[in-house]
Amino acid sequence: MKRILLPTDFSDNSKGAISYALQLFKEEECTFFLLHTYMPPVYNAEYLVGSPGLIGLGDVMQETSLTQLEKLKSELEQEYDNLKHSFVVHTAFNTLLGEVEECIEAENIDLVIMGTKGATGAQEILFGTNTVHVIKRAQCPVIVVPPKFEYENPLEILFPTDYEINYKEDKLAPLLHIAEKHGSQINVLHVSTGYELTADQKNKKAGLEKILGNKALYHEVSNDEIIHAINSFQTKEKINMLVMIQNKHTFLERLFIEPVIKKIGFHVTVPFLVMPQF
């Protein structure tokens, strides 16, 4: 049974991500953990020492949070009516990142699914600070769902890579699982720097080919900026999910530097699965 963490602030953005999660795994037995965190707006030294005017504020916020979570749980059970799915509500006086990290360890979470919660433009989506931190720090895969995304089966998955990683089947398990359950085709995209693949890259590519088997097609793009190549591929081909590996050897880190995103325009129009470092 999958154990999936669904952070929520009760916004349309987070509810859209929850809806995506329930549809993506509708045929599988899952326990979904609905997580909401709260921090008093006056959280400072006064709160810590128990200022008389603040006594009980945390209890009120906790009760409000639990009430909203239970209401959301009831709505989801009624709307989706899936006997394979169960829900656990969890509220905490903590930062979102701190509680996500604790929940992943304490509840043996397999996957986090959340909204982008960032500024949006006509084509571009800038990741919110919480989303960026969760992706960077989470010790399990994370799927980020863009606002107002209408669910579609992930039949075509785009997987950009530089063949600089020792691919391992267990680390690629989230991608392989989704591809198998939905009959997906994985489009492996490599952007060359104008040089032939090194012997090491060829070996690592061969390892990836062995793991992905007949689920994958391989694409080469020459002398292009990686973000532009991703955008161009999505423009030409119908892609339902983007997948990357959070690894120090890849380009993923710089995607989260806001000025770079603003300058280049990273168009996140489909759910984005990020797998942790190998």
CATH code (residue 7): 3.40.50.620
Check pLDDT > 80 for residue 243.
yes
What is the reported pLDDT for 126? 53
Q: What pLDDT is recorded for position 56?
A: 54
Residue that terminates a domain, selected from 125, 149, 173? 149
Q: Which of 87, 274, 103 is nearest to 174 (CA)?
A: 274
**Whether residue 164 sits in one domain with residue 131:** no
Q: Let me know whether 237 and 226 are in one domain.
A: yes
Q: State whether 169 and 126 are in the same domain.
A: no
Same domain? 203 vs 243: yes
Q: Does residue 256 share a domain with residue 119?
A: no
**Are 85 and 156 part of one and the same domain?**
no
Position 250 scores a pLDDT of: 54
- Domain boundary at 111, 130, 149, which? 149
Kindly indicate the confidence band of residue 186, based on its pLDDT and cuts at 50, 70 and 90. Answer: very high
Q: Are residues 78 and 127 in the same domain?
A: yes
Tell me: do 126 and 196 sit in the same domain: no
Mean pLDDT for 15-41 is 93
pLDDT of residue 37: 92
Rounded to whole angstroms, what are the CA distances from 15 to 72, 93, 107, 116? 9, 21, 22, 11
Any residues with CB less than 8 A from the CB of 71 and at least 6 apart, and which?
Answer: none
Mean pLDDT, range 21-49, rounded to an integer: 80
Contacts of 42 (CB under 8 A, 6+ apart): 54, 57
Q: Same structural domain for residues 142 and 159?
A: no
Both 113 and 240 in one domain: the answer is no
Q: Which domain holds residue 196?
A: 152-278
- Considering its fold, how many domains does the chain have in total? 2
101, 134, 149: which is the final residue of a domain?
A: 149
Alpha-carbon dihedral angle through residues 231, 232, 233, 238, given to the nearest 10 degrees: 80
pLDDT at 100 over 90: yes
Shared domain for 156 and 143, answered yes or no, is no
User: In the prediction, which pLDDT does 231 show?
Assistant: 82
Based on the fold, state whether residues 182 and 254 are members of the same structural domain: yes
Whole-number Cα distances in Å, 244 to 55, 161, 250: 46, 7, 9
Reported pTM? 0.87
The pLDDT of residue 194 is: 73
